[in-house]
Amino acid sequence: MPADSILLAGRPFPLGAHPEAGGVRFAVSAPPAEAVEVCLISEDGTEERVELTERTFGVWHGLISGVTPGQRYGYRVHGPYDPSRGLRCNPAKILVDPYATRITGALTDLDAALGYVGDPMHGGPSTVDSLGSVPLSVVTSPGGPDTGVKPEVPFEEAVVYELHVKGFTQRHPGVPQHLRGTYLGLAHPSVVEHLVRLGVTTVELLPVQAFLDEPSLVEAGRHNYWGYSPLAWFAPHPGYASEPGREVEEFRTMVSALHSAGIEVLIDVVYNHTCEGGPDGPTLSYRGFDAPGYYLHIEGGGTLDITGCGNTTEAGSPQFVRLVTDSLRYWTTELGVDGFRFDLASTLGRPGGRGFDRASAMLTAITTDPVLSRCKLIAEPWDATGDGYRVGDFGVQWAEWNGRYRDTVRDYWRGMTSVRDLAYRLSGSSDLYSDDLRRPWQSINFVTAHDGFTLRDLVSYNDKHNEANGEDNRDGTNDNRSWNCGAEGETDDAEVLALRARQARNLFATLLLSTGTPMLTAGDELWRTQLGNNNAYCLDDETSWVDWELPPEGESMLAFARRVIALRATSPALRQPAFFDGRTTPSGAPDLVWFRPDGEEMAETDWFDDGRRFLGMWIDGSTSLSRSRDGELVSDDSWLLLVHAGDEPLEVTLPGPEYGGRYEPVVDTTTADGSPATPGSFAAGAPLVLGGRSLMLLRVPG
């Protein structure tokens, strides 16, 4: 203990390390422990241990005077070591505070971090001291730069843009070299300008909570680039700071810059597993405090793995529910974020590893929290098991990544599905969400994401090409639903290249013109390729970084993306906040009508013709049910969307005068930037020729 310092009792809550009363109050949950020591680590590596003498509700706590912000620390836990019961207390292993708001150091010696000798299930505890080989916690003081006023973008107006903090700016020519790949790089005016001009309202950051490389990557000398391997759920990842130790301040600065531009910040949170892996993994934090309290276990002490990552957190544990909700509130209130995307969220509804329960303690705690209930909450509604696939099954306050949308739209444009399922996806997926009080904007529509092909690769490769990952191309999904348009990978064939660009425009336009919330993947608008790699999680190089030197195809795709996103923003009928229900509108027509190529409404039997590759969708704009920010209903023109996935041109007949007198082409995917190939307007009932594999949107002035 520092000279002249005093150990006082302190109090158990809030957990973590909090500067107060001339010192720091430490509190950590470790119910199985028989003794807990706070280890204060000096800059030269010297360790001073202070035993906490107070235990309340399984929380060990004490206030140590004379300790100040910036102090590095960890914990040593004395207690039962019995792998058959999942208990792995080992005072030789210095542990990261689960509530640490800053992390320093890395896992440099995997062997030293292992808590066992020999067999992980039957061997005894390791006596090797892990200090110097593992990360440490750092005491931080609250506060920092103002994060600005939250934009509070209505969900129905949102356009989500998924990006990687490092990869998005690492090659950006407008960002100073020392800021590339950092929080401040993302805050740079040249980067914010791109987001604003593109028209996105909400960025979704791949994991920014402090993470470590998994043991398998450490042994192979590789790194986890994506960040889905969490260590500390309160601490911003230190690797994205331009100046070591200032990650909290820099993260807040980034949020402020985006908020000033009217852009929300969501973060991808990974509460379903940790970087400690299975029983053979290292003891870095949670395993050493209370493994059964944090992880699902099976009989005999092994971990239950329904995430595919070696362990699964115990969503039914009160201390874990508290940790997750405390963490989420911290990111919302102290770091300014506007919402969260929950990785493998089905696990949070499976306490004890049982069947999914939308009313589980964890999911209920999140949605009923007075702070978190105001955030955007997005679930990835599956885990690594068949039972965990729960698209459409989450509760009323949850939006979901709609995997059904992705699969249907990909299949439609490669000619592998009919229009029946497509109609549901275009109109907000009412089959998944309308019967449980949810809204169409709770369908997060996407065609690509970080996990899988980029948009360019989706139309350029039939198969994955993941050899660079070092796993003999065994990793990554084989279910890509992609089509290379006639040649695998890079090619000089002009006809193939033209078809690829058109297919990409078809996919992108379908996404933006569908009812629901569109999510884009960073770089798709710049024609980014990963050369067919659909699982570049461990490639922190040019494969994953966005290339800002655009080829001509990239310039065209960017112009097209800006055009369609801007159109959506100014057209309330294309982003309605309520499901279509066939209601009669002032125009005298229903709010939504489906058409055949002959200009007649789809009949019941037409929907079961699996050979159909054309669909017309007429949307009435007179009562779009969209509202202004003040809550007033706003009207719009009506719209006609024509999608044609057949190879050959198709002559269609426009709907009759009861749906509008004139039809004005606005978006046409047969041109590079989406401008109409035939400007002007067409009369009701007139013939119109659609190019093979093309999409056209026509305005019907009200």
Is 540 designated active site?
A: no
Give the 3-state secondary structure of 452-491: CCCHHHHCCCCCCCCHHHCCCCCCCCCCCCCCCCCCCCCC
pLDDT, position 215: 84
* Residue 634: band (very low, low, confident or very high) from pLDDT cuts 50, 70, 90: confident
* Residue 1: band (very low, low, confident or very high) from pLDDT cuts 50, 70, 90: low
Over residues 128-139, the mean pLDDT reads 98
d(CA 399, CA 393): 10
Over residues 623-640, the mean pLDDT reads 82
pLDDT, position 622: 84
pLDDT, position 586: 75
**What's the DSSP call for residue 548?**
-
Cα 152 to chain centroid distance, Å, stands at 18
* Residue 325: band (very low, low, confident or very high) from pLDDT cuts 50, 70, 90: very high
d(CA 156, CA 626): 8
Neighbours of 158 (CB within 10 A): 23
**What's the DSSP call for residue 624?**
-
- The answer to pTM > 0.85 is yes
Check whether 624 has a pLDDT greater than 80: no
Which pLDDT tens digit goes with each residue over 391-408? 999 999 999 999 999 999
Check whether 441 has a pLDDT greater than 80: yes
pLDDT, position 455: 98
* Residue 679: band (very low, low, confident or very high) from pLDDT cuts 50, 70, 90: confident
Is 343 designated active site?
A: yes
Q: What share of the chain is helix, strand, coil (3-state, %, to 5)?
A: 25, 20, 50
> Which string of DSSP letters, residue by residue, matches 499-523?
HHHHHHHHHHHHHHHSSSEEEEETT
Cis bond before residue 14 (omega within 30° of 0): yes
R_g of the chain computed on alpha carbons: 27
Catalytic residue among 264, 380, 540, 620: 380
Two tokens, residue 174: 């407008």
Closest C-alpha among 201, 341, 205 to residue 629: 201
> Which string of DSSP letters, residue by residue, matches 652-679?
EE---GGG-SEEEEEEETTSTT---SS-
Contact present, 294 and 313 (Cβ < 8 Å): yes
- Ranges of beta strands (E only) in 6-91 are 7-8, 16-20, 23-29, 35-41, 47-52, 54-56, 59-65, 72-78, 81-82, 87-88
Neighbours of 399 (CB within 10 A): 25
Place of tokens 């039972």: 387
Q: Which element (helix H / strand E) includes 682? A: strand 682-683
Is the pLDDT higher at 632 or at 108? 108
Closest C-alpha among 18, 61, 66 to residue 37: 61
Check whether 4 has a pLDDT greater than 70: no
pLDDT, position 21: 85
Check whether 42 has a pLDDT greater than 80: yes
Type of residue at 542? E
pLDDT, position 628: 77
Type of residue at 456? R
Q: 692 Cβ partners below 8 Å, 6+ apart?
A: 644, 646, 647, 648, 649, 650
Cα 24 to chain centroid distance, Å, stands at 35
Per the prediction, the chain carries an average pLDDT of 96
How would you class 448 by CB atoms within 10 Å of its CB: exposed for 0-12, middle for 13-18, buried for 19 or more? buried
Which pLDDT tens digit goes with each residue over 19-29? 998 999 999 99
d(CA 192, CA 175): 11
User: What percentage of residues in the chain have a pLDDT greater than 90?
Assistant: 92
Which pLDDT tens digit goes with each residue over 456-514? 999 999 999 999 999 999 999 999 999 999 999 999 999 999 999 999 999 999 999 99
* Residue 627: band (very low, low, confident or very high) from pLDDT cuts 50, 70, 90: confident
Closest C-alpha among 619, 615, 617 to residue 575: 619
Which pLDDT tens digit goes with each residue over 681-694? 999 999 999 999 99
Contact present, 294 and 284 (Cβ < 8 Å): no
Could you tell me whether strands 264-269 and 202-205 are parallel, antiparallel, or unpaired per DSSP bridges? Answer: parallel
Contact present, 98 and 274 (Cβ < 8 Å): no
Check whether 216 has a pLDDT greater than 90: no
Is the pLDDT higher at 622 or at 654? 654
Give the 3-state secondary structure of 204-224: EECCCECECCCHHHHHHCCCC
590, HSE (Cβ side, Cα atoms, 13 Å): 12
Place of tokens 């992705």: 406
Residue 426 sits at φ, ψ, to 5 deg, of -65, -30
Over residues 343-361, the mean pLDDT reads 97
| Residue 531 φ/ψ region, left for φ over 0, alpha for ψ in the -120 to 50 degree band, beta for the rest | left
Place of tokens 């109050």: 25
pLDDT, position 2: 63
pLDDT, position 220: 85
Catalytic residue among 37, 97, 268, 343: 343
Type of residue at 4? D
Is the pLDDT higher at 627 or at 697? 697
Crossing angle of helices 361-368 and 318-333, rounded to 10°: 30
Give the residues across from 252 on adjacent strands.
none
* Residue 281: band (very low, low, confident or very high) from pLDDT cuts 50, 70, 90: very high
Give the residues across from 697 on adjacent strands.
641, 667
Check whether 652 has a pLDDT greater than 90: yes
How would you class 311 by CB atoms within 10 Å of its CB: exposed for 0-12, middle for 13-18, buried for 19 or more? buried
pLDDT, position 657: 94
Torsion of CA 536, 542, 546, 548, to 10 degrees: -160
d(CA 453, CA 534): 5
Closest C-alpha among 386, 303, 389 to residue 345: 389
Contact present, 237 and 224 (Cβ < 8 Å): no
d(CA 289, CA 295): 11
Cα 660 to chain centroid distance, Å, stands at 41
Which pLDDT tens digit goes with each residue over 578-589? 999 888 777 778
pLDDT, position 140: 97
Two tokens, residue 465: 């090409």
pLDDT, position 702: 77
